[in-house]
Amino acid sequence: KNEVEQSPQNLTAQEGEFITINCSYSVGISALHWLQQHPGGGIVSLFMLSSGKKKHGRLIATINIQEKHSSLHITASHPRDSAVYICAVSGGETSGSRLTFGEGTQLTVNP
């Protein structure tokens, strides 16, 4: 079992829909990261959070430390949101600051 599990693996939505991607982890962490990998391969850090909730534009990330679970929400989705969304954790006792990644969620938003 991977230390970081994401669901779903693939997600197809219509433009305007509200999207949720889930991430569960099984190790102690200091922070959880959400990343976006564009179709061209580049990786952008969207959020780093250790508690509560963060919002940036149409993106919202939440984390529940007790349940070891995080969600990434996209409101009013748009075709340009199509990308792979990756959950990663860091700051564990044995892992230090390096990132441990989930397998990613391929999101496709159709017009």
**Least distance (Å) from other proteins to the CB of residue 64?**
18
Instruction: Report the C-alpha gap between 21 and 54 in whole angstroms.
Output: 15
Contact between 96 and other proteins by CB under 8 A: the answer reads: yes
Verify cis geometry, omega within 30 degrees of 0, for the bond prior to 8.
Answer: yes
- Dihedral of CA 90/94/96/99: which sign? negative
Contact between 101 and other proteins by CB under 8 A: the answer reads: yes
In the window 34-93, what residues touch other proteins (CB under 8 A)? 35, 41-45, 48, 86, 88, 90-91
Contact between 7 and other proteins by CB under 8 A: the answer reads: no
Residues near other proteins, by CB under 8 A:
30-31, 33, 35, 41-45, 48, 86, 88, 90-91, 96-104
